[in-house]
Structure 1
Amino acid sequence: MQSYVNGLGLGASLIMAIGAQNAHVLRMGIRRQHVLITVVACVIIDIVLIALGVAGAGAVIQSSPTLLQIARWGGAAFLLWYGLRSWRSLVTPKSLQLGEQATAPNARQALASVVALSLLNPHVYLDTVVLLGSVGGSYPDSQQRLGFSFGAMTASVLWFTALGFGAVQLSGVFQRPVVWKGIEALTGATMIALAAGLVFTG
């Protein structure tokens, strides 16, 4: 039980930080577009990466400079593109409308978007595979490692569910053009800041 609580606490502290995944889930929730698909995809990706990390994949990634460089530059490019795309909406004349179908992605596009945003973002691997994997893998007993993993996975389920469907409930407030443009501006700034951090601190 203690290892489960430790995993829950560490997982929550990492996953609740402002990042690319959270900004995207919030955005989709506010727009009420494929929220379930987005939330489920984020949770499944986290579960798989946490399991791989605790099983030892984190040590493999850390020991490979090539993999780290690929993740760094590829992730920076993707985050920069996503951030600039969000900022582009600030200069478009029309405001977002709930239920607007012209700009709404279909289910396949929504799934591809969240998968790409998750797997092309190196911070996801650093948080789940490397950090959570290193801490969870340090437990000497297999039951403790399993408990830690389940705790971290539970944090992912609770957070993404609350974030995505909570944003749906608040979408009426966020729907106002001025507020939505603020969300887009914050999303763009977050993505570009993460990209810059990868380039200049890597």
Structure 2
Amino acid sequence: MLTLLTGTLFGLSLIVAIGAQNTFVIEQGVRGEHVGAVVAVCAVSDLVLIAAGVGGAGAVLTASPGVLRVVRWAGAAFLLAYAAFALRRARRPGALRADTSRPPARVGTVVATAAALTWLNPHVYLDTVVLLGSVAATHGAQRWWFAAGAGLASVVWFTALGHGARLLRPVFARPAAWRVLDLGVAVVMVVLAVGLLTTA
């Protein structure tokens, strides 16, 4: 149980920071669009990455820096493109009304975006695969209990974040609030993209 709790706390320490993935989950939660699908993509992706890290994939990534370099550039390009879409939504009044007055995004588009924001983020490999995998290895035979705790943290966090964001919907009944949200999303994406490019 102690190892499970340690893994849970460590997992939370890695995913609670607001980044591109969490920002998208919040955005979809506020809009009320395919929240379950977004939560599932993010949580399952984390479970796969955690299992890979504990299973030893971190050593492979450490030995192949070129892979992370490619992911870094692809991720930066995707983040900048997403920022541009968010800015366009902020400039178009028709896209700023309450989510019930605009056609919802297609589930395939939303799922693909969630997957891209997860798998094109090089930090997810450094944090979840390399770092978490290394820390889990220090627990020896108990490392899979550590992994289970980290996986539990991901499932609980994304579920709470996605479904909890609905509490903000009354605020976003006003068009100005949507403008602020989309501008905030654009800023976060640009900052993250610049961070990726400057460390390339």
- Which interval holds the TM-score relative to the shorter structure? over 0.9
1:151 is displaced (CA, Å) by 0.8
Whether contact under 8 Å (1:139, 1:145) holds in the other structure is yes
The percentage of aligned residue pairs carrying the same residue is: 46
Instruction: Tell me, yes or no, if the aligned pair for 1:55 and 1:137 is still in contact at 8 Å.
Output: no
Farther off after superposition, 120-129 or 53-62: 120-129
- For residues 99 and 81 of structure 2, the distance between their equivalents in structure 1, rounded to whole angstroms, comes to 25
2:27 corresponds in structure 1 to: 27
CA distance in 2: counterparts of 1:66 and 1:40, whole angstroms: 29
Structure 1 position 96, deviation (Å): 2.8
Q: Report the Cα distance in structure 2 between the residues aligned to 1:174 and 1:59, rounded to whole angstroms.
A: 45
TM-score by length of 1: 0.92
Amino acid at match of 2:128: T
Deviations 1:12-31 (A, max 9, x none): 11111011110101010100
Read off the aligned partner of 1:159 and give its amino acid letter: W
Q: Superposed, which structure 2 residues align to 1:81-120 within 5 Å?
A: 81-94=81-94, 95-102=96-103, 104-120=104-120
Q: Is the 8 A contact 1:79 1:121 kept in 2?
A: no
Instruction: State the partner residue of 2:57.
Output: 57
- Are the aligned partners of 1:76 and 1:198 in contact in 2 as well (CA < 8 Å)? yes
Gaps of 5+ in 2: none
CA distance in 2, matches of 1:48, 1:20: 19
Please point out which of 184, 187, 190 is paired with 2:185. 187
Residue in structure 1 matched with residue 169 of structure 2 by the alignment: 171
Take 1:52 and 1:96, find their aligned partners in 2: how far apart are those partners? 42
For 1:14-64, what per-residue CA distance to the aligned partner results, in whole angstroms no more than 9, with x for missing partners?
111011110101010100000111111111000011000111111111110
Give the aligned partner of residue 71 of structure 2: 71
The farther-off stretch of 176-185 and 161-170 is 176-185
Alpha-carbon distance, 1:100 to partner: 3.2
Q: RMSD in angstroms over aligned alpha carbons? A: 1.4
User: Structure 2 CA distance, aligned partners of 1:128 and 1:201?
Assistant: 19
Deviations 1:137-188 (A, max 9, x none): 23222xx101110111111111111110011232122332222221111111
Find the residue that maps to 2:140 and give its secondary structure. Answer: coil
CA distance in 2, matches of 1:40, 1:135: 25
Aligned length: 199
